[in-house]
Amino acid sequence: MRASPLCLQALTHRSVGGTNYERLEFLGDALLGLIVAEWLYTTLPKASEGELSRVRASLVKRETLAEIARERALGDQLYLGQGELKSGGFRRDSILADVVEALIGAHYLVLGFSATQDFVRMLFGARFERLPSAESLKDPKTRLQERLQSSGLPLPVYVIVEATGEPHQQTFRVRCSLSGDKLAAEAVGGSRRKAEQASAEAMLSLLNEREGSKRVR
């Protein structure tokens, strides 16, 4: 497989030329989603569709694939143009993740689906054996909303306190507050969504602290 022209193509960034990993990455992305979905469907027979989706998303996200690429030292094997080399493309999460998917696509074209399933399981290794719980993968806004709803409380309110920077690169400060409660939490993020998620996480921490102090009393 290492000597395959498709494998070399899977390691070649578009900055090098026309024959690069982009088409293989497209194929590998679809294959990865299918193989992981089938694995989870079989491994977690009692999980709901939403739970399966959250676990799958955690496994196939860019950060996870980039971690796998680093574990396999794929950054050292990349073919990059001079511009990408100088800017550290071999360390960039987006490129590393794309290469993993491209290699999956190349593996399929050379060796077929069954071998590709084995290849994916080898790449993910212990990650398939230590699956995170679906509950732990819920985003902070969802966890906060569910916590409040279970207590019969109103939903939180998110307000943009400040937005700074150029339109294409803004930073947002968001306040999360609870109706009828003096508790409020603020956080900063590179987008409104990220700032809201961070403020929800901060609010959950405040609620935990308050509940902990009540138990101590």
Examine the domain organization and report whether 89 and 188 are in the same domain: no
Examine the domain organization and report whether 16 and 58 are in the same domain: yes
Q: Which of 22, 51, 101, 135 is catalytic?
A: 101
pLDDT band at residue 213 under the 50/70/90 scheme: low
Residue ranges making up the domain that contains 46: 5-131
Examine the domain organization and report whether 90 and 146 are in the same domain: no
- Give the tens place of pLDDT for each residue, 52-107: 998 999 899 999 999 999 999 999 999 898 888 888 888 889 999 999 999 999 99
- The overall pTM is greater than 0.75: no
Between CA 120 and CA 104, with CA 53 as vertex, the angle to 5 degrees is: 20
**Final residue of a structural domain among 80, 104, 131:** 131
Q: What is the mean pLDDT of residues 14-31?
A: 94
**Final residue of a structural domain among 73, 99, 131:** 131
The answer to whether 118 is a known catalytic residue is no
The answer to whether 29 is a known catalytic residue is yes
25 in a labelled binding site: yes
- Give the tens place of pLDDT for each residue, 135-188: 667 788 988 998 899 888 888 999 999 999 888 789 999 999 998 778 899 999
Examine the domain organization and report whether 126 and 95 are in the same domain: yes
135 in a labelled binding site: no
Examine the domain organization and report whether 114 and 97 are in the same domain: yes
CATH number at residue 36: 1.10.1520.10
- Three-state DSSP string of 118-151: HHHHHHHHHHHCCCCCCHHHCCHHHHHHHHHHHC
Q: Which of 29, 49, 63, 76 is catalytic?
A: 29
Number of domains present in the structure of the chain: 2
98 in a labelled binding site: yes
